Amino acid sequence: MNRYIATFHTHFSALKTFRTFRDAGVAAELAPVPRALSADCGTCVRFDAETPCRSQLHCDFDRVVLVQADGSYQTVVSNDAP
């Protein structure tokens, strides 16, 4: 199981994604965005899954990072939509 952090452009997007994960049985929590990641709305969704769950993210997400064993972050999905 991997630990991911999804960042968003709006708090609404973060909340919608959190609820989608919760309803799908994905272990997730709303949290402040880590300072190293800095994002628009300041709220992220931390979740544990085998994959980044892109299909369950609200369309207004910013990016998803994989939390490495050493505490660093690796971007695994970026939302390049305008």
Q: Is the pLDDT of residue 73 over 70?
A: yes
pLDDT of residue 2: 97
Q: Is the pLDDT of residue 36 over 80?
A: yes
Average model confidence (pLDDT) for the chain? 94
- Which domains are delineated in the chain? 2-78 (3.30.70)
* E strands in 1-82: 2-8, 27-32, 43-49, 61-67, 73-78
Least confident of 10-14, 22-26, 78-82: 78-82
Q: Is the pLDDT of residue 82 over 60?
A: no
The mean pLDDT value for 51-76 works out to 96
The mean pLDDT value for 13-42 works out to 93
